[in-house]
Chain A
């Protein structure tokens, strides 16, 4: 069974660990390169993206993490995590540039504009409860990006290869369906990886 890491620079990382455990997956906090080396996939949690960026550089995690993402390690970013993975942020080059989307930070407004809404997610029978906290908006998506949910005609859950991003916080609910979606991506990657090795 894969071990899934949760980036633990700053933010709601414990909530993701709890969700993963609920899904029956081994999970660990990742703060250092040697911890990153122990995991097969990584969740980048919500928090403050600027704070996370500084800490990623300081802890020496930026480079090895960028390399792992480049090599195809599955990653899932929620809110600030999605900002870190985006190709473009506020019209400037993004941080990991792992998914072909442009995001605008705090795009719905300040905290008083934070909201909850029911979302229709591709493949889910029942709606998913979306909690949006000072959320970014995905303004543009590249042609290889698959949109899995929208709100107000903008993508809020999207996927490109092994990269999944949500502008809301599934970890603040008790609903594990989106985490399970990520686990499926991890599983798929492992199968493909094995097939590749055999060839």
Chain B
């Protein structure tokens, strides 16, 4: 019997299974277990959460394989891990470790000034960040099975996450008003086949699963991103940089499921302790969202 492993279909399939869920950044087995217990649909294994990467500076790289393995052993939900933009060998290493999803992430220091990873070459699915439609479609064209709008990681400030979702939405709306010639021109501008632009126009959304990320810190933040049309949310520093991670993690998971139900969001938002302090975008020395293109 013919069996096909690692096809584009099964890569897209795992992304589908994550929908409606919350993917949480974790830096060790203990946090991973807390996330799983709270109902996370996957965890992102990291050495440092974005808020700390931002604070400590230096070159941020793929996590130590021992760390990733420790987290993979600790939980039964899918484990994701980050590689630097363009760093295809870090991606090969993560694939060899057997992680379930690779995030080619602007949160780490980029490794290639010219190219993102050719993701078609891998059996593991990739998620990539995007701030606009062109960027999202370029990543999909390179083989990304999932897109996360970038937001501004490590800030606890949702404004950039909202900006990127709204920008992509608006750009897809604009496609609907274009004729064939204008679409072809747009595809050239984006640097992707016209087929892909037509697909986004026909679907009225990105042609892959689209999660929100970067700055989500409260249950209301998560529900807002869902109401804006995202398929799920990533929460990075927002959980383990808050006063009571367990409670907050549970609350964000519930708010994501019941995103259209303000009574439930109100109830789960009660008494969560302090959220991460967060930062104004204007005060940032560097915007991580500007990494990649």
In-complex Cβ contact of B39 among A32, A54, A110, A169 (8 A): A54
Asked if residues A8 and B20 are in contact (CB atoms below 8 Å), the reply is yes
Asked if residues B10 and A115 are in contact (CB atoms below 8 Å), the reply is yes
0/1 interface trace, chain B 1-22, chain A, CB 8 Å (1 if under):
1111111011001101111110
- How far is A134 from B42 in the complex, measured between Cα atoms in Å? 13
| 17 sampled A-B residue pairs with Cβ under 8 A | A10-B19, A10-B41, A11-B17, A11-B21, A48-B42, A51-B21, A51-B41, A54-B37, A54-B253, A58-B250, A79-B17, A106-B76, A109-B98, A110-B99, A111-B78, A112-B5, A117-B2
A131-B13, A133-B14 given. 5 additional CB < 8 A pairs? A48-B17, A54-B37, A112-B124, A116-B9, A172-B9
In-complex Cβ contact of B17 among A12, A112, A113 (8 A): A12
Asked if residues A59 and B258 are in contact (CB atoms below 8 Å), the reply is yes
Asked if residues A134 and B14 are in contact (CB atoms below 8 Å), the reply is yes
Asked if residues B76 and A117 are in contact (CB atoms below 8 Å), the reply is no
Total count of chain A residues near the partner, CB < 8 A: 40
Total count of chain B residues near the partner, CB < 8 A: 43
Contacts of B20 in A (CB 8 A): 8-11, 13, 47
When A and B form their complex, which 6 residue pairs have the shortest distance between CB atoms, in order from nearest? A54-B39, A111-B100, A114-B10, A10-B20, A10-B21, A48-B41
Contacts of A48 in B (CB 8 A): 17-18, 21, 41-42, 77-78
Asked if residues B3 and A117 are in contact (CB atoms below 8 Å), the reply is yes
Asked if residues A51 and B77 are in contact (CB atoms below 8 Å), the reply is yes
Contacts of A172 in B (CB 8 A): 9, 13, 16
Q: How far is the CB of A193 from chain B (nearest CB, A)?
A: 31
- How far is A117 from B78 in the complex, measured between Cα atoms in Å? 22
Enumerate A3-19 residues with CB–CB distance to B below 8 Å. Answer: 8-15
- How far is A83 from B42 in the complex, measured between Cα atoms in Å? 17
